[in-house]
Amino acid sequence: AFGAARTFKINNVQHSACIQASKQALVGLGFKNEKVEDTLDALCEISWQDTLGDAAEDFLDTGNGYIEVVRTGDKITGLHHLPANDVDIYIEDASYNRHYRIRSATGTGGGIVGGRVFARFGERDALKSRLKEVEEATISEVIHFRQSTNMNRWYGYARWLAATASI
Residue 4's H or E segment, with its range, is helix 2-7
HSE, side-chain direction, 13 A CA sphere, residue 133: 1
- Distance (Å, whole) CA 96 – CA 2: 23
Contact 9, 61 (CB under 8 A): yes
What would you report as the CA-atom Rg of the chain, rounded to the nearest whole angstrom? 17
Task: Quote the pLDDT of residue 116.
Answer: 66
Task: Quote the pLDDT of residue 106.
Answer: 46
Angle at 96 between CA 159 and CA 128, to 5 degrees: 115
> 129-162: per-residue pLDDT in tens?
888 777 766 789 999 999 999 989 999 999 888 8
> 46-101: per-residue pLDDT in tens?
999 999 999 999 999 999 999 999 998 889 999 999 999 889 999 999 999 999 98
